[in-house]
Amino acid sequence: MSYTPGEKAVLAQLRHLWSISAVREQQVKVLTTQWPPSHVETYSKAFQTLVTSGLIEHTGGQNFTITDAGLLAIGAEIPKPQPKPASTPKPAPVVVQEPPKKRSGFLSRLFGR
């Protein structure tokens, strides 16, 4: 896929953000502070194009997410999901039996128990 110069610039900035933190969810403010004032309009349009093409998910909030397609576009590996650790069965509780109580009644004295 061919990209405009503005899209290439925004993708390069995304690559830089990814190389620093390797986190898909990023703040829009962190990205836009990298934009030179003379290129804000061009980069803003490029950002919207990347959202439209599915490389970025942005719902209008303060954060955006780099999609799998976006990671491929910036040349990053798609992280594999971490396998869930196998749940180990809990051992059965140990039941400790008390020794029989020594009786001190009449029959115990009579029979010697």
**Half-sphere exposure (Cβ direction) of 110: Cα atoms closer than 13 Å:** 3
Q: Model pTM?
A: 0.67
44 Cβ neighbours under 8 A, 6+ residues apart: 32, 35
Q: Which fold has domain 5-73?
A: Arc Repressor Mutant, subunit A (1.10.10)
Would you kindly state where each structural domain of the chain is located, as residue ranges? 5-73
- The tens digit of pLDDT for each residue in 36-88 reads 999 999 999 999 999 999 999 998 889 999 999 999 999 888 877 777 777 77
CA 41 and chain centroid, separation: 32
Residue with structure tokens 């809990």? 90
